[in-house]
Chain A
């Protein structure tokens, strides 16, 4: 079977600083693959490199068996869409939600824009009342949902998701995660998904890779998280930290 995504020995450098230092991973069609790890470890850079938005120094990226060079054509963005980590930066503040959703449809020559926009808004739990709002009039979570709607509206086959629910409250997060799962099943989508929330990754993904300092620490199955069978001490620390905050005894004493 041809892999949906095949990355080998990827190196990305900024002025001599190696943001990615030889990262390899393979994602099968229809699979949902998770990336977790330290802040600044290069998770977003992996996604950006696939989307053609990071300076790749060496290594290779193949999408559905086809090696991808420096240029990405229109057909590429039809197949691969990305939801950016930062919904504030990625949506133009002076555009209405309607424009934001209509634009990709126009670029790719879809004719039934009206019904697609309404359906996309409905899918992410934003009623049609939001359609003519400007993105600067939306809360953080509302923007994030517009960003997801914008990626889904083109019906891509591979979705790169960078912290898709970190700006959402638990109830909207549950709705968005259910939606993403359902769409993946119905349309046989492939996901590469970044999250710092191990529970979200365990829920959404079959396998995951843990990153630190531009490199892979280890790859494991999501069920290894549940059984706390992490091989690397860093992954184990992440698992412990996921349990919540523990007040330092000294701090607690100074307050009493």
Chain B
């Protein structure tokens, strides 16, 4: 079943020196699956996620032939409806967790508030479920971290606090923007296992924005590749090594590996025609 349908989405930032076309006519849909978005730094991945959520800065222009979540036309939805969707049915783990958490509120309280915003639970239960959620994302000492402020936790702990906050609301569609980029590899796999179960057992739709091709090819179902605001390739994750677009091929080839000793690493020759 399709949860999200996007046709010809464009996002433009007017600036003093001319418009920046961050996203140009992209189309894709998401069902109850794990869809990866990979691509060049600055290619529009995060802005695409933000537009789905309705978090694009007000001065920017978002246009689309269709931007639909579960049959709801998001472009016509009132700000109130969008806010409701955002709290309850669609969630996004932002790329910049520490910046996105409230700096003057303790971690635990932020998660408790996220829970209580969509479910009527008592103080004691909310605290317990928050501690459980922190433990589920492999925080070593949930009770200590519950009482810390965002600047008092490590990069990966902040990222996991953000993940806990988004998961506790039980969203139907989760947009995870580089959700594990600050985590050590064992914790990374534990988090992916949680997301995996939510997709398999609860039928959540997952948009997984990542530049980690090894993870994407082993974890996701489908992959969308973005370059300069456009989707240049769509491919089954298991087929990633047989990608056709030279950008995708180049990406796969320039990763360092534990076993190969290649100095310098191969780099991409970016061709002007990729920008078209």
- Chain A residues with CB under 8 Å of chain B are 14, 17, 36-41, 44, 85-86, 88-89, 132, 137-142, 145, 162-163, 166-175, 177-178, 181-182, 196-200, 202-204, 213, 225-226, 237-239, 241-248, 251-252, 254-255
Contacts and interface: CB of A to CB of B under 8 A. Distances in A.
B241 interface: no
30 contacts: A39-B157, A39-B182, A40-B139, A40-B156, A86-B98, A89-B99, A137-B13, A139-B42, A140-B46, A140-B178, A142-B42, A163-B182, A167-B41, A167-B95, A169-B38, A170-B252, A170-B255, A171-B254, A173-B254, A196-B184, A196-B188, A197-B185, A202-B256, A225-B258, A238-B185, A238-B186, A244-B214, A245-B189, A248-B193, A251-B200
B99 A88 contact: yes
Contacts of B193: 248, 251
A85 B155 contact: yes
B42 A171 contact: no
Contact of A37 (B160, B184, B189): B184
Interface stretch (B83-91, B107-115, B167-175, B264-272): B264-272
B192 A245 contact: yes
Interface residues of B, number: 66
B205 interface: no
Interface in B219-256: 219, 247, 250-252, 254-256
A95 B128 CA distance: 42
A173 B252 CA distance: 12
Interface of B: 13, 15, 17, 20, 38-42, 46, 95-96, 98-99, 139-140, 144, 152-157, 160, 178, 181-189, 192-193, 196-197, 199-201, 211, 213-215, 217-219, 247, 250-252, 254-259, 261-268
Contacts of A167: 41, 95, 178, 181
B250 to A, nearest CB: 6
B98 A88 contact: yes
A175 B41 CA distance: 12
Contact of A39 (B96, B187, B219): B187
A156 B182 CA distance: 26
Given A166-B181, A167-B178, A244-B215, 9 more contacts: A39-B157, A40-B140, A137-B20, A169-B41, A174-B254, A174-B265, A196-B184, A252-B200, A254-B200
